[in-house]
Chains A and B, each alone.
Chain A
Amino acid sequence: MNSAVELKSVEKRFGKTEIIRGVSLDVKSGERHAVIGPNGAGKSTLFNLISGRFMPSGGSIHLRGENITGLRPFEINRRGLSRSFQVTNIFPRLTVWENVRCAVLWSKGYKYSFWRNIDKLEDVRARTKEILELINMTDRAEIPAGVLSYAEQRALEIGITIAGGANIILLDEPTAGMSRSETEQAVALIRKVSEGRTLIIIEHDMGVVFDLADRISVLVYGQIIATDEPAKIKANQKVQEAYLGAAGHD
């Protein structure tokens, strides 16, 4: 299988503090790949590096074989990689409809157009409607995103992430802070939207991870100590010592 995202000896330092210490990872096209690890292991930093929010201090990152190291986030997004955020990151005073529409526009090729009436762009309207149906928020379309409930904002966050039709989707703790039933809905949504795409997901809920992932990478103190199928990760001695042993009782 082709690789969707490949990291080669990626490092990230903030001053003298090393957060990512030589990570190499090969995420295959079409797989659902989970990244787990204890708090402070550097999972979110890893996402920030892949999506272009941070520049790596060393190593290189490749998207379907193309070196994207040092590209800006919007350049990476235009190449088909989209991400969500751990802390909800939406457009609070815009309506739900406008939030999703903003994320659709570039993929439909309208760029910085200031001569087309946005309400008459049928393809944009259709895609926005489709995304709202997918995240089950059609009846919330006209509400400012800032007043939605937490779970709704998380769903909108996913909607914005997938609206541009990216082939590679990075989700950063999409179910954090959700109740059990909300988590189940979110997992069903993630399963649906990642169909036929590559998914990389950071998740603390082991139930979700083992349910969803084809492969799992375990990140501990800035290094990947194992990448394997869920069953083998569960049985891995090193993983149990470093991670599951401490947090596996919940």
Chain B
Amino acid sequence: MSSTIKSYGVWIAAALLLLLLPYVFPAGASLTTMCLMGIMIIFALSYNMLLGQTGMLSFGHAVYYGLAAFVTAHTMNWAAKSGYPIPLPLIPVAGAATGLFFGIVFGWVSTKRGGTAFAMISLGLAELVYSSSLILRSFFGGEEGISADRTKLLRIFGYNFGPQLQVYYLIAFWTLLCVILMYAITRTPLGRMCNAVRENPERVEFVGYNPQFVRFIAFSLAGLFAGVAGSLAAINIELAQASFVGAGQSGAVLLAAYIGGVAFFVGPVLGAVLVTLLSIRLSDFSEIWLLYFGILFITVILFAPYGLSGLLMMHAQFWRGPLGSKIARLGKLFGAYIVALIPALIMIAGAILLIEMIHHVAQKGAEGANMHFLRRNYLTVNTHTVLPWVGGAVAMIGGFFAFRFTWPTVANAWHNALIDAQRSGK
């Protein structure tokens, strides 16, 4: 009984959080950001049904997202024009059906093989759909895409979904629903066989299952949820564009899932939130934010292969014993982290300064010697003087060695926390 309360409790808490977030962050920009986060959460989790759960690396997941967005835009226009009584909150069903349909069609072809062959086929299909989007102008609308007006549909309870807040709640509802469903699927016979296929597809054949069919169903369902995400994206900006089916969108979802961590269900949720936030906010600080994004991705792959959720879960083993000792133990550990974080930040700041100056000199030399570091006017740097170059280099190199110097402190703190946790038993 208590486990039932526990498992539902998470969802009730999530629902409350989604309900209250607009009161905590009421600004228009925040609402927009949160809408994009919700869409990305669904998209990244659907991607992880393939990558994390079933071990299928897809380079073309945006196909299902994007096609669903276009069908959604057409459906909205058709409903508005014909006057059929279809309210906006039900429109994502059309996106889900589109995603499922194309998941079945393309999945039938691509899931015959796993591993590298699957990855290559997904890339080929993505290219195929993207190039079609430039050719089939009546469906994809060419460069402008297909726009739609979400306020022209049947109103329910007087809501016309013009204000962003109403769209936020529409997206929040679908996000929660999809997250719950995708979580539930991991706990079914199919969900567990997906894990088995990821681990050892050959052995699966000898316990009565066809691994290709497991992949096929997983792929179709991933298409369905990607379709919901794409549909919400079209509702959110009242537009579907060719870039929705493009390689950039497929890459973004891979990044989100990987940075969050594919080994845990919650990983892609964290990844989606972070990646959305970064892709919106980083451009306020730098023109070449995509470069930093790439560096972050490489850093995660190299040093935290299980992503953010993996890093968090590594600390679960310290959460033992009485509350006071738990907090003291983690407090000591985080103290050591902060000691290491300071030189790390100095190193990063130095590196960013150098990169930005190189970018300024190479790309914007005509604008003169002065550069606004991080796009802040109060951080004006003269790139024609020696000092900032030397300063950047010293900060980067010095920070690196100082970071190396603090590393044993972190390792020690980790070791001590581990011993302490083991002593305090279960």
B191, A91: Cβ atoms under 8 Å? no
B208, A77: Cβ atoms under 8 Å? yes
Choose the segment among A116-124, A190-198, A203-211 that binds chain B (4+ C-beta atoms closer than 8 Å).
A116-124
Check A102/B202 contact, CB under 8 A, given A77-B207, A112-B217. Answer: no
Q: How far is the CB of B163 from chain A (nearest CB, A)?
A: 37
A72: interface (CB < 8 Å) = yes
* A-chain residues with CB within 8 Å of residue B199 when the two chains form the complex: 91-94
A90, B191: Cβ atoms under 8 Å? no
CB closest residue in chain B, given A112: B190
Distance A111 CA – B213 CA, assembled complex (angstroms): 11
B32: interface (CB < 8 Å) = no
Q: How far is the CB of A47 from chain B (nearest CB, A)?
A: 11
B210, A105: Cβ atoms under 8 Å? no
Interface residues of A in 80-118 (CB under 8 A from B): 82-83, 85, 89-94, 98, 101-103, 105-107, 110-118
Q: How far is the CB of A158 from chain B (nearest CB, A)?
A: 13
Distance A112 CA – B111 CA, assembled complex (angstroms): 16
A217: interface (CB < 8 Å) = no
A73, B217: Cβ atoms under 8 Å? no
Contact of B188 among A83, A89, A113 (CB under 8 A): A113
Distance A32 CA – B200 CA, assembled complex (angstroms): 29
* A-chain residues with CB within 8 Å of residue B213 when the two chains form the complex: 112
* B-chain residues with CB within 8 Å of residue A8 when the two chains form the complex: none
Distance A164 CA – B203 CA, assembled complex (angstroms): 13
Distance A103 CA – B202 CA, assembled complex (angstroms): 13
Contact of B210 among A74, A90, A107 (CB under 8 A): A74
Interface residues of B in 65-121 (CB under 8 A from A): none
A-side interface size class: 35 or more
A160, B207: Cβ atoms under 8 Å? yes
Contact of B203 among A113, A115, A160 (CB under 8 A): A160
B205, A114: Cβ atoms under 8 Å? no
B206, A116: Cβ atoms under 8 Å? no
* A-chain residues with CB within 8 Å of residue B188 when the two chains form the complex: 113-118
A105, B205: Cβ atoms under 8 Å? no
B192, A98: Cβ atoms under 8 Å? yes
B426: interface (CB < 8 Å) = no
Distance A52 CA – B217 CA, assembled complex (angstroms): 24
Distance A51 CA – B195 CA, assembled complex (angstroms): 23
Contact of A112 among B193, B200, B206 (CB under 8 A): B193
A112, B214: Cβ atoms under 8 Å? yes
A73, B206: Cβ atoms under 8 Å? yes
B209: interface (CB < 8 Å) = yes
Q: How far is the CB of B109 from chain A (nearest CB, A)?
A: 19
- Please, what's the 1-or-0 string for B216-257, where 1 marks a CB less than 8 Å from any CB in chain A? 010001000000000000000000000000000000000000
* B-chain residues with CB within 8 Å of residue A160 when the two chains form the complex: 203, 207
A82, B206: Cβ atoms under 8 Å? yes
Interface residues of A in 136-180 (CB under 8 A from B): 160, 163-164
Q: How far is the CB of B278 from chain A (nearest CB, A)?
A: 30
B205, A77: Cβ atoms under 8 Å? yes
Interface residues of A in 201-233 (CB under 8 A from B): none
A234: interface (CB < 8 Å) = no
A78: interface (CB < 8 Å) = yes
- Please, what's the 1-or-0 string for A117-136, where 1 marks a CB less than 8 Å from any CB in chain B? 11101000000000000000
B184: interface (CB < 8 Å) = yes
Contact of B187 among A105, A111, A118 (CB under 8 A): A118
Distance A103 CA – B200 CA, assembled complex (angstroms): 13
B192, A164: Cβ atoms under 8 Å? no
Distance A91 CA – B209 CA, assembled complex (angstroms): 14
A114, B207: Cβ atoms under 8 Å? no
Distance A6 CA – B213 CA, assembled complex (angstroms): 30
B200, A74: Cβ atoms under 8 Å? no
Check A114/B200 contact, CB under 8 A, given A91-B195, A106-B209. Answer: no
* A-chain residues with CB within 8 Å of residue B202 when the two chains form the complex: 89
CB closest residue in chain B, given A116: B188
Q: How far is the CB of B313 from chain A (nearest CB, A)?
A: 14
Interface residues of A (CB under 8 A from B): 51-52, 72-74, 77-78, 82-83, 85, 89-94, 98, 101-103, 105-107, 110-119, 121, 160, 163-164
- The 17 sampled A-B contact pairs (Cβ below 8 Å) are A52-B205, A74-B204, A74-B209, A91-B203, A94-B195, A98-B195, A98-B196, A102-B193, A105-B193, A106-B209, A113-B189, A114-B185, A114-B191, A117-B184, A118-B187, A118-B189, A118-B191
Extra pairs beyond A91-B200, A93-B199, A118-B188 (17, CB < 8 Å) = A72-B210, A73-B205, A73-B206, A77-B206, A82-B206, A89-B202, A89-B206, A91-B195, A91-B196, A91-B203, A98-B196, A102-B209, A105-B207, A114-B221, A118-B189, A121-B189, A160-B203
Interface residues of B (CB under 8 A from A): 184-185, 187-193, 195-196, 199-200, 202-210, 213-214, 217, 221
